[in-house]
A and B are shown apart, each in its own frame.
Chain A
Amino acid sequence: MNNARVIISTHNTLAALGLKKLLSEVFSTDVLVVDESFFNVLSTTTEPHLFFVDQDTLVARLPFFLPRKAKTVLLLPSDQSIEDFRTINITLTESQLINEFNSLLEAHHNKDKESTALSSREAEVLRLIASGKTNKEIAQELNISINTVLTHRKNMTAKLGIKSVSGLSFYAMMNGII
């Protein structure tokens, strides 16, 4: 989830700034906001993991984005879907948006680093552990069995190498999970 370099390009400056703030604060993601002229000189910078663009930018730079459609996400003001491209409805509520971005960024992160990345479920369990919940409470809250909670914890410790509850909480703080 972390250090996924993201490039945002949209004529809606307010949306770009809001998205940048969200991604960098909630997901500790390295974000760059650019204007259209940027795509003439991209070769000089590192290719990012994801592009968030509005429809105008996409249309204007279609030759650029078509070969990169796997990493392009279209920002749309409605639930509309566009063939070949992933879309995000920017009129969703804040928590829905966070969930959307979470799964987007996570998919990329998992591809890069399968061994140490937490799944979104594990991150959820970690968040609850860090907030002081017992295994039983976590099971109730997520509507899963205690055994499943224990399995998540075991996998988490195997991935992160951290076993104490407070160590996990500090890890969650370091990674913006809480």
Chain B
Amino acid sequence: MALINRDSKLCDIILHDPSTITVLDRFGIALGVGDLNVEEACQEHGINVEFFTTILNTFINENYFPQYTMAQFSANEIVDYLIKTNNHYQQNVLSNIERHFSFLIAKAPSHNNNLVIMKQFFDEMKSELLQRIDDDNNRWFPEICRNEKAISQIAEAVTVEEPTDTIEDKIDDLINMLVVHMKGDYDHNLGYAVLVAVFSLKKDIKQNNRIRNRILRPFSNALMPSNE
């Protein structure tokens, strides 16, 4: 899909990639988008159009590098989006995977220890993600919001090397375990359900990390070189 701009229709965006609905949801937009285009929807919901298109384009296109940076957006706006993203993981995505996994283990025709081990690996990844969310909410985000004024005065932040993300790696590993190394007796349908749920988390985390690392982190680094 071509880059999303202010004239793009919301329904086309969702039809092209249904997983965008979870992103739109973070802006207060739900299904039943009618004929609205991006600009009209943003007006209706009081959203900054540039911010909205940047977020969606980052989500849809892996190679998209945001043209607008922190200087154009307010720190609060970005942090608010990331908080909603974290909430989405905590409340929906993780519990979804967990539920599917539990069913998968419970409905296996005979005890399948590999499923139990994979679930343990998922639990480890999950607690790492929850820890990061906790750190975001209690340390990183408040710090950025406190320094919002200083941030707006930094004309251009130095781009930093994107750190390797252990959560992203572990999600990839979990997907490989399911796709390549799954064995023993299990309910196929529930196996697919786990896989699809983990995939949707992977996609979202990737986008989340791009926003964290490409937009937020350079400015937070410029502000507090010793901390982040």
Asked if A167 contacts B174 (CB within 8 A), the reply is yes
Q: Is the interface of B mostly helix, strand, loop or mixed?
A: helix
Asked if A164 contacts B117 (CB within 8 A), the reply is no
Asked if B166 contacts A170 (CB within 8 A), the reply is no
Asked whether B173 is an interface residue with its Cβ less than 8 Å from the other chain, the reply is yes
Q: Which of A116, A162, A173, A175 is within 8 Å of B173, CB to CB?
A: A162
Q: Which of B170, B179, B180, B181 is within 8 Å of A164, CB to CB?
A: B170
Known: A116-B180, A160-B181, A174-B177. A167 touches B114 (CB 8 A): no
What is the distance, in angstroms, from B92's C-beta to the closest C-beta of chain A?
A: 24
Asked whether B172 is an interface residue with its Cβ less than 8 Å from the other chain, the reply is yes
How many A-B contacts at CB < 8 Å in the complex? 46
Asked whether B48 is an interface residue with its Cβ less than 8 Å from the other chain, the reply is no
Asked if A166 contacts B177 (CB within 8 A), the reply is no
Asked if B118 contacts A174 (CB within 8 A), the reply is yes
Asked if A167 contacts B120 (CB within 8 A), the reply is no
Known: A116-B180, A162-B176, A162-B177. A170 touches B169 (CB 8 A): no
Whole-angstrom distance between the alpha carbons of A175 and B172 in the complex? 19
The number of residues on chain B lying at the interface, defined by a beta carbon within 8 Å of a beta carbon of chain A, is 19
CB neighbours (8 Å) of A160 from chain B are 176, 180-181
Asked if A164 contacts B114 (CB within 8 A), the reply is no
Known: A160-B176, A161-B176. A166 touches B181 (CB 8 A): no
Asked if B180 contacts A173 (CB within 8 A), the reply is no
CB neighbours (8 Å) of B180 from chain A are 116, 160-161
Asked whether A163 is an interface residue with its Cβ less than 8 Å from the other chain, the reply is yes
CB neighbours (8 Å) of A3 from chain B are 183
Residues on A facing B (Cβ under 8 Å) = 2-3, 116, 160-164, 166-167, 170-171, 173-175
Residues on B facing A (Cβ under 8 Å) = 113-114, 117-118, 120-121, 124, 166, 169-170, 172-174, 176-177, 179-181, 183
